Amino acid sequence: MSDFTPLRSVLYMPSSNERALEKARSIPCDGLILDLEDAVAPDAKPAAREAACAAAASGEYGRRTLTIRVNSIGTEWHDDDLAAAAQAGPDAVVVPKVGSAAEVRQLVTALERAGAPDHTTLWAMVETPYAMLHAEEIAGASERLSVLVMGTNDLAKELYAAHVPGRHPLLPGLGLALLAARATGKAILDGVYNDVQDAAGFGAECRQGREMGFDGKTLIHPGQVDGANAAYAPSEQEIEDARGVLQAWSDGRGSGVVTYGGRMVENLHVESARRTLAIHEAIAALHPGA
């Protein structure tokens, strides 16, 4: 777990907004998605592409994960976006509306042909019923694909589903995507929360996502960063318990039965404790003094 990368809070920023790109350097999020798609008007897309690529190549965003979201396959901007993003060498290129394993392979080939450096991975947004039903094939299509990103607004639209607290209409699809990510060793990010004024609803959705097993949440406003960071970080109690489990395991080695806090400790508990501490240490390294 030493190479664990925190992705608790991944913030979309419109690349057409120079001030937003400047502000993003100081926002305490774990990751940024410099957006060329939804947040950018058609006539602003070429300039936004140039700005996003310059930002990605600048080295001015610290250790946070820096990605560029291109326009989707089949749009007039996609090929130029993908080639420019590959050459800029961000941590990842985010592609919306990925619907099949064949599309993943097509995207990886295009990245490699455009000269993407080895560290630039692919993040695939899954946003349709078809993509959810084929999430395992998508996630397993390439080693270069590192993250699945939930497109919950588009999924709700295609399901004809209501946006309701608890998101019960979306849970079957989210569950399939989570299973696919874990089965193939990928990270997975929950979708956005639309009402930036509703802190209570946002907090509840973060807690739900954490409980389901997501690695973090995509965000549409800097005001959501602190809430996501808190929700997706191990609590003080979880850190203390993880250390206690590992100490009990070490102390009891060879004794047959190991307990901590009155509960039996097995290998699976040890693995979970190590993961908790790895996440805690990686967050501390990313945001020292926070």
Give 36-63 pLDDT, tens digit per residue.
999 899 999 999 999 999 999 999 999 9
Angle in degrees, CA 76, 78, 83, rounded to 5 = 130
CA proximity to 175, closest of 147, 133, 206, 205:
133
Q: How confident is the model at residue 254 (pLDDT cuts 50, 70, 90)?
A: low
Q: How confident is the model at residue 284 (pLDDT cuts 50, 70, 90)?
A: very high
Structure tokens at 195: 């009402």
Task: Write phi, then psi, for 193 (nearest 5 degrees).
Answer: -110, 125
pTM of the model: 0.94
Strand, coil or helix: what is 288?
coil
Give 55-95 pLDDT, tens digit per residue.
999 999 999 999 999 999 999 999 999 999 999 999 999 99
The domain locations on the chain are: 9-232, 236-286
What lies within 8 Å, CB to CB, of 121 at 6+ separation is 91, 92, 93, 144, 145, 146, 147
CA proximity to 106, closest of 142, 140, 158:
142
Task: Tell me the CATH number of domain 9-232, given options 3.40.50.1110, 3.20.20.60, 3.40.50.2300, 3.30.70.1230.
Answer: 3.20.20.60
Give 133-192 pLDDT, tens digit per residue.
999 999 999 999 999 999 999 999 999 999 999 999 999 999 999 999 999 999 999 999
In this prediction, residues 101-123 reach a mean pLDDT of: 98
Give 211-245 pLDDT, tens digit per residue.
999 999 999 999 999 999 999 999 999 999 999 99
